[in-house]
Amino acid sequence: MTRKKELTGKPTVMKEVNISLIMDALRTLGSASRVELCNYTKISQPTVNQLIRELMADNIVLSLGSADSTGGRKAEVFTLNSKRSAIACITATMDDFTCSITDMDLIEEFSFICRHQDNASYTEELCTVIEKLLKETPDIGAISIGLPGAVSEKGIVYAISQIPEWEDQDLGAILRKKFPLPISVINDINATALGYLKIDESDCQNLIYLQMNGTGLGAGIIIGRRLYPGFASFAGEAGYMQIGNRQSVESQLLCAETAKKADLLSQIVINMICLLNPDKIVIGGAEITDRFMSIIEAACEEALPHSVLPVLSGTSSSTECYRKGLADRGFSLLDKGVHLLK
């Protein structure tokens, strides 16, 4: 009989994991006492005490003083230092780069759009944008880039028809050679899904964000409050799904009227509910109206038991959530490497 190999970790690795858990807890909760951090992260009290001291010494965590007492000794409350560093968020499309600077309190400090020039390299123009951001905001600590393509676990960009120049390129590695900063590259729909998760107030554990842009269709899948990318980071590429006559959804959207698009999305939503049974599904896109959502809701109610239906909502604009997801991704990247392993 073969024994299962026990999962062990070096002290430095365990410390990095524990700090990441504490940082994530403070981002989620806003503020917390040591006991609340222990309960949320399941880390021991002595370890939380030690790591909080180190994070405060690095000016990453701040003390808010004592909480109102309900009897007994008042508990000290901690929060993340929102001004410790800024994150540059960059959204890339076929036509432009839109940029903003954010800290934990501010989604948009300023923004500008850099239009691509004819025959210019997208990578060169992106570098120009980053140089301008770093010049105007020297306290940028990390850069988070969202783009309309899949990004593998190793950082390779692919399935990016809008920007063929980046196909099979490790964009993050290319940029890190030029700029000595933590840099994250993420699919735009996945970033938006993470943003919705962060602003959701219902303690949603499993969420799907489905976005339709013209004939394009993609989904960001959250399971257990974590992004689910699939083994090749292809999870959520809903446009490749086939519904009827072995045709991809995107090819059917190409010449579909609004009613047909609503019918196609209804089928996809029903299938996703059957496969993943999420708490919530958010559908985004310029064409997503109340009428559009009512068609999808009616189809789901007709096809499925009422008890399994998730919360369904629609939005014609998800820009704020996209930026929120990019910012959170940037802070997560920053938190992993700024203060660790002294």
Q: What is the DSSP string of 126-158?
A: HHHHHHHHHHH-TTEEEEEEEESSEE-TT--EE
Res 74: pLDDT: 77
Query: Does 109 map to a domain?
Result: yes
Same domain, yes or no: 167 and 208: no
Same domain, yes or no: 156 and 213: no
Same domain, yes or no: 186 and 214: no
pTM, rounded to two decimals:
0.78
Query: Does 115 map to a domain?
Result: yes
Residue at which a domain ends, from 80, 103, 129: 80
Res 59: pLDDT: 78
Same domain, yes or no: 75 and 101: no
Which residues fall within 8 angstroms of residue 21, CB to CB, at 6 or more apart? 41, 43
Checking if the pLDDT of 23 tops 90, the result is no
Res 112: pLDDT: 63
Residue at which a domain ends, from 63, 80, 97: 80
Res 334: pLDDT: 72
Instruction: Tell me the pLDDT tens digit for each residue of 242-254.
Output: 988 788 998 998 8
Query: Does 325 map to a domain?
Result: yes
Is the distance from CB of 240 to CB of 270 less than 8 angstroms?
A: no
Alpha helices in the chain (DSSP H): 11-29, 34-41, 45-57, 122-136, 171-178, 188-199, 249-253, 258-276, 290-303, 319-337
Kindly indicate the confidence band of residue 341, based on its pLDDT and cuts at 50, 70 and 90: very low
Same domain, yes or no: 66 and 206: no
Same domain, yes or no: 205 and 284: yes
Is residue 201 packed enough to be buried (19+ CB in 10 Å), middle (13-18) or exposed (0-12)?
exposed
Same domain, yes or no: 108 and 181: yes
More confident residue, 22 or 115: 22
220 SS3 class? strand
Range of the domain at 131: 86-191+321-337
Same domain, yes or no: 118 and 183: yes
Domain count, the chain: 3
Query: Does 131 map to a domain?
Result: yes
Same domain, yes or no: 94 and 73: no
Same domain, yes or no: 39 and 123: no
Query: Does 206 map to a domain?
Result: yes
Indicate the helix (H) or strand (E) that contains 237: none
Checking if the pLDDT of 316 tops 90, the result is no
Res 116: pLDDT: 61
Query: Does 5 map to a domain?
Result: no
Same domain, yes or no: 258 and 116: no
Query: Does 342 map to a domain?
Result: no
